[in-house]
Amino acid sequence: MKPADRKKWGAVLALLALAALLTAGVIWMRNRGLLALFSSPERLQEYVRGFGPTAPIIFFALQAVQVILSPIPGNVTTLAGGALFGFWKAFLISSAAVVVGSLAAFGLARLFGRPLVVRLVGEKTVGRYLDALISRQRILIVLFFLLPFFPDDALCLIAGLTGLGWGFFTLTLILTRPWGLLFSALVGSGAIAVPVWGWALIAAASLALIAASAKWGQVWERWLLERVKRSAKKSG
């Protein structure tokens, strides 16, 4: 076997092993009722603390898995990590885990193709983003990860269906994905002492952002996607 072929098959076997581990982990978590832990930072914090010295490893694994299980909010795990490990440790572990989980999602999509991605995120989501990413992969994936109303975890899977390279995708993840974890790690660790009125302002701003996203998010998204499609037609 040629060296190039050995390298290719080695990557395939590694992805298969990763897929098997992730699948087994998800099944185990569901059978044990552990997915409910992600609904509350306090419950998750208590569970992870029970592992003692290996708690950081368990936290890393849970944070990586939640990227594949898109319904699980990553900010919940980061809040719990901040309370357990402090700001820097929680932020660094969360950032590394999210990057690893995102790369795993990208690789799984590369290996198993559209059927797996559709099963995980739905045909509607795939149809909405895939054509746009194919036509303008690099600039769009950066924008999608930076803007708040796009589904980052689902986009990691969909990006795996495009011709986007591993190097660029990895660099994009490192530069864009940790920003969403920064505030959660700060709050969870207590590094930010937010008074009652501050929490009221944060709640009001969050509600305003949610309302704006609900009212105009699809409009902004549709406008951006239409611009991409028009640009692609002109350049074609």
Would you write out the chain's pLDDT as a tens digit for each of its 236 residues?
666 566 666 666 666 666 666 656 655 565 655 556 655 667 777 878 888 889 899 889 888 888 877 556 666 778 778 888 888 888 999 999 999 989 988 988 888 888 888 888 888 888 888 877 776 667 778 877 877 667 788 888 999 998 888 888 999 999 988 887 887 788 777 766 656 666 566 556 655 654 555 455 566 666 666 666 666 566 55
* Residue-level pLDDT at 210: 45
Residue 129 tokens read as 């983003």
Boundaries of domain holding 88:
3-193
Distance separating alpha carbons of residues 94 and 59, to the nearest angstrom: 8
Distance separating alpha carbons of residues 82 and 133, to the nearest angstrom: 34
* Residue-level pLDDT at 224: 63
* Residue-level pLDDT at 208: 62
Tell me the three state secondary structure of residue 9.
helix
Distance separating alpha carbons of residues 164 and 141, to the nearest angstrom: 10
Let me know whether 205 and 189 are in one domain: no
Let me know whether 113 and 230 are in one domain: no
Let me know whether 189 and 204 are in one domain: no
Let me know whether 156 and 231 are in one domain: no
Let me know whether 214 and 203 are in one domain: yes
Let me know whether 151 and 215 are in one domain: no
* Residue-level pLDDT at 182: 81
Q: Closest by alpha carbon to 19, among 125, 152, 110, 118?
A: 110
Let me know whether 171 and 206 are in one domain: no
Distance separating alpha carbons of residues 80 and 41, to the nearest angstrom: 5
Let me know whether 175 and 208 are in one domain: no
